[in-house]
């Protein structure tokens, strides 16, 4: 997700991790993956499975979204350990061991149980981000989550990535609305979502007093 592109908030991947005020983080809820922006923590095990049994491969002009493989572990951990990304995800940066456990839950929980769609985001064969779409209690609907590595910020890839997830939600999952949650200070992601037609619908006051904005786009 521009200098503030993290996993919309990548909650730690429903992996989702959530940190007050920071939405836009990979999300594999903590309890879902075992145990996971500032993105709210959306919990995959607690949320309804995605209408699709497995994440289909998606392509944009420059990106490929496909399923993670075991070989992606080091790049996944590096993404989530980068404080420029993790500041906007879930509960912020966690230990390397926790991120490795989170990666394992992508396979043992999310993919094994077909809980929702989770993708590795690749450019020219290299993992450069993370993406999800899943139902969460926070928005009472399907939320998009995405994050990009800092080295690819500022190239318009965040817009390309978010648009692909939204299109998947409408055209493949048959949704009438998709939602996103973003920390109020994350102006870049807020501006990106506005360009995609999302409208601010309400705010959530986090436990630390920070504000998370809830945005919604309705299918036209």
Q: Is residue 2 part of a domain?
A: no
pLDDT bucket at 91, cuts 50 / 70 / 90: low
More confident residue, 3 or 217: 217
Q: Is residue 8 part of a domain?
A: no
Q: How many domains does the chain have?
A: 1
pLDDT over threshold 60, residue 8: no
pLDDT over threshold 50, residue 43: no
Q: Is residue 76 part of a domain?
A: yes
Q: Is residue 123 part of a domain?
A: yes
User: For the chain, what is the mean pLDDT?
Assistant: 81
Q: Is residue 1 part of a domain?
A: no
Tell me the percentage of the chain whose pLDDT exceeds 90. 68
pLDDT over threshold 50, residue 1: no
Mean pLDDT of 29-40: 32
More confident residue, 34 or 164: 164
* Edge-first strand listing for the sheet containing 211-218: 58-59, 64-66, 117-123, 126-136, 141-148, 177-183, 211-218, 199-205
CATH number, residue 38: 3.40.630.30
* Least confident span in 28-32, 116-120, 162-166: 28-32
C-alpha–C-alpha distance, residues 60 and 38, integer Å:
26
Question: Domain range spanning residue 108?
Answer: 15-218
β-strands 177-183, 211-218: how paired?
A: antiparallel
Q: Is residue 6 part of a domain?
A: no
């Amino acid at each position: 997700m521009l200098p503030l592109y993290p996993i919309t908030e990548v909650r730690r991947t429903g992996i989702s991790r959530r940190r007050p005020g920071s939405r836009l983080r990979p999300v594999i809820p903590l309890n879902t993956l075992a145990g996971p922006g500032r993105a709210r923590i959306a919990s995959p095990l607690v949320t309804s499975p995605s209408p699709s049994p497995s994440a289909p491969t998606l392509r944009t002009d420059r990106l490929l979204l496909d399923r993670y493989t075991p070989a992606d572990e080091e790049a996944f951990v590096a993404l989530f350990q980068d404080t420029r990304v993790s500041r906007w995800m879930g509960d912020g940066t966690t230990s390397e061991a926790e991120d490795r456990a989170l990666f394992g839950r992508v396979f043992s929980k999310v993919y094994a149980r077909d809980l929702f769609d989770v993708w590795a985001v690749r450019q020219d064969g290299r993992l450069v981000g993370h993406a999800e779409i899943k139902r969460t209690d926070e928005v009472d609907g399907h939320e998009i989550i995405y994050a990009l590595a800092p080295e690819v910020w500022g190239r318009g890839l965040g817009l390309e990535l978010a648009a692909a997830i939204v299109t998947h939600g409408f055209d493949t999952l048959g949704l009438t609305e998709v939602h996103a949650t973003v920390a109020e200070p994350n102006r870049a992601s807020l501006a990106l979502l506005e360009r995609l037609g999302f409208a601010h619908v309400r705010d959530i006051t986090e436990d630390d007093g920070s504000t998370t904005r809830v945005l919604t786009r309705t299918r036209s």
